[in-house]
Chain A
Amino acid sequence: MLSALRQHRAPTSEAQLSVLVLDGVTKGFEGFTAVDNLSFEVPEGGIFGFLGANGAGKTTTLRMALDILRPTHGTIQVLGQAPGRRGGGEIGFLPEERGLYRQMTVLETVIYFGRLKGMAKGAASASAETLIERFGLAQFAHRKVERLSKGMAQKVQLAAALVTAPRLLILDEPFAGLDPVNQSVLEDVVLERAKAGSTVIFSTHVMQHAERLCDRLLLIARGRKVFEGSQEEARGQLPARLSLTARDNPSGLSGVEHAVARLGGDGGWTNWDITLSPGASAGALLETCTRVGFALRSFETHRASLHEVFLHLAGGEQAGESSEVRS
């Protein structure tokens, strides 16, 4: 289902409008800089992953985009204008810290948030009923929130974020606290919204979700941007690695930066882990082996995971980011 939906995703292009633009944004709290001179753009359409360790400044950045916080320096544009609540219905937001009015029913909650964003009562009611049905909560529509399980309450909150069918959906750590089944439901919803033309920005420090969903990524550490681009571009940040089985030492081959023999070879064959030089490719190395008659029994390339990319790019910064900032 995920792959099918991904095929229908609207393509992004540089010519498209940017739904979110940050230009030199800094946010400081007493003696502490949460976001430091951050600039990036999110093009309209697709799914944008906002990655970083706990305390990297993701939540602060998203709060500034929603005008909950004001930047100390720099400018922000959301949907072509300064942050504010003028077009509240065009933005849906699922905060990391979730909570609902315990005495309100499921239906009342979703309608209330729809109306707070400017929807007429009838439209909010119709949209709320559709979403409640979609999330399998129809039989609990008139149940008070305080009597719901945590998972159901999280679905209600997601419905409240989606009730206006927003053009821009901002999800702050949306998978946190969800069980695998509900994580899957949420992934489906994210992909559905993207398919319907919405731009989805979600922050996470769990790279697997970003790997499955995101078209583009922004990686920040200590409030500063360390990477922005596609997943392939992100992987390109890591030196290519491969493993091969050969009779001879491949260290002297063109493009090989580093070769380490592994245990387990037999009959004169040795297993090697190869790190390529910057700019070198696995295909070029294979071509060289063929051309010079370098005997090979196996040749296997390794695709870097986002987790490895993350550790590579942000690893040095993470030591000081153990405590998350809530501001």
Chain B
Amino acid sequence: MNTMWLVAAREFRQICATRSFWLTLLLLPLAIGLSQVSARLMAPSPGVAVVIVDETSRYAPLIKQKIALDRDRQVLSELGAYAQRWKIKPTGPGTAWGDGPRLFTLSEAQTFEAAGGIRGAAAQIAHLKPVAAPDLRLSAPNFIPIPPPQDVVTKGGADAFGASLAPHLKKDVTTPIGPRQLALGVYIPANFGTPGAVVRMWSNGRPDLELVETIRQELNTSLRTQALQSAGVDIAALATIQTLSAQVTLTVPPAGTGARERLLLHSALPLALAYLLLISIMTSGSWMLQGLIEERSNKLLESVLACITPDQLLYGKLVGVIAVGLVMISAWIAFAITAAFSVQGIVADFIRPALVSISSPWIAAALAYYFLAGYLALSMIFLAVGAVSDSMRDAQGYMMPLVLMLTIPFVAIASSVLQNPDGLLPRIFSWIPIYAPFAMMARLGSGVTPFEVIGSGLLLAAFIWLELFVLSRIFRSSLLQAGQSLRLMKLLRPRAGA
């Protein structure tokens, strides 16, 4: 046993001393970090600016007010999510957001604005929020009305306005919340409301239909109001009618509890572990294979085998490479957890419900079993390739089919588990030993029957035992036989030996 640990320690040190080990170890965190940074740097700033020139001076204020109220409804929804997450219960007028995130009405937005709007809500939150809660961060407004840029002609008619505005539609303009793209210019002629009068709009090539529709609806409402007034409808009654609004509530399940969302969240962590298993076994398996081929090509195996048995060499190598894999995965998981919890907000809020999937000790134990058993089962395949290959070129012939054999079914497993964890394909793969670790790990978060866990686990254990048996024979038969072919039936015979 002692010699096995010596071999394992040497194997571990040899792999850890390679540059490729450190590159691989740092590559995943680096890739995640870079993707985060680049996503932030390259993502367009949220919100667009809009310029409204109103020759009548009647409609622009109404449109701006509607945009502001829509913004308040968006803010109310975000405040609701924050209040629900941190269990904040505000009191007083304009605090409908304390009930949680939902669809808020215009009248609720008006009440909210009248009660102090965002500043009023922020004051309540500062007073009520728990110490651990992060500061409230609201998303940027979608539409920001701004005055026309100085060189834009506003008094020369629609064509002059459009022509002078066109250059600004291709670049950012100054807004109260920073530079934003000018997405839309609106020109309301002085005769708007008379037959034939047209409101003209100029976009930056990607017209925001929501903004266009908001403006159109507000103009329609104004025209209809004027028409009703002209028809003799009482203004007070009309105002009352205008405030009528169907009370609609849309209940959104808390994060992670919706059917589809729950499936995604609960499968995320096990799937991530399955993916880590695939990556780490590919890399560490390759290192182990290279090490074994180096030992064979350097002709040093005879010296080693004079000191220890082929089985001790085999077990030592397996333990060494598993230790390497576990170090890599531990480092990656530690990095992921650190990153997730050092960044408050969406990432942490996603990880938290995802952790629920492994909160059961049985599921955690099954995950650990499938991970380690999968590592062992797949490592032995790489070791067998190394034992029968005389050179890296020779090994490449085995490696390509092996990699395809592992990756293509893995992609199929991952995508089918996300569609339906109990689908036929994931269930079939759960009973094929070399794919069972991936399939079972991916499915464990969303519920698997004990029969499948135990049955598939036992089958995997039996497969590992068979692999050990065959690999031991391969080791004994092939390690000193460079250039000689192996016969499978001979390996499986009870007394097949060196």
Contacts and interface: CB of A to CB of B under 8 A. Distances in A.
B6 A112 contact: yes
B308 A68 contact: no
Given A70-B497, A91-B306, A116-B307, A99 B299 contact: yes
B159 interface: no
Contacts of B7: 116
A101 B306 contact: no
Contact of A116 (B3, B294, B298, B480): B3
Interface in B480-497: 480-482, 484, 497
B300 A100 contact: yes
A112 B295 CA distance: 15
B222 to A, nearest CB: 81
Given A101-B10, A103-B17, A116-B3, A160 B305 contact: no
Contacts of A69: 480, 498
Contacts of A112: 6, 10
A327 B303 contact: no
A115 interface: yes
Contact of A68 (B17, B306, B484): B306
B300 A101 contact: yes
Interface residues of B, number: 27
Contacts, number: 75
Given A99-B298, A100-B298, A157 B303 contact: yes
A102 interface: yes
A171 to B, nearest CB: 12
**Could you say which interface size class chain A belongs to?**
20 to 34
Interface in B379-420: none
B452 interface: no
B321 to A, nearest CB: 16
B482 A116 contact: no
Contacts of B303: 93, 95, 98-100, 113, 157, 160-161
A259 interface: no
B172 interface: no
Nearest to B487: A30
A116 B304 contact: yes
A257 to B, nearest CB: 48
B309 interface: yes
A327 B298 contact: no
Contacts of B301: 99
Contacts of A104: 10
A70 B293 CA distance: 24
A66 B306 contact: yes
A113 B6 CA distance: 10
B494 to A, nearest CB: 14
Nearest to A170: B306
Contacts of B304: 116
A117 interface: yes
Most buried by B among A66, A70, A99, A104: A99
A326 interface: yes
B261 interface: no
**Closest 5 A/B residue pairs (Cβ):** A99-B300, A99-B298, A97-B299, A116-B307, A99-B299
25 contacts: A66-B305, A68-B480, A70-B497, A85-B308, A88-B306, A88-B307, A91-B306, A93-B306, A95-B302, A95-B303, A97-B302, A99-B298, A99-B300, A100-B300, A101-B10, A101-B14, A101-B298, A103-B17, A112-B6, A113-B307, A115-B6, A118-B2, A118-B3, A160-B303, A326-B481
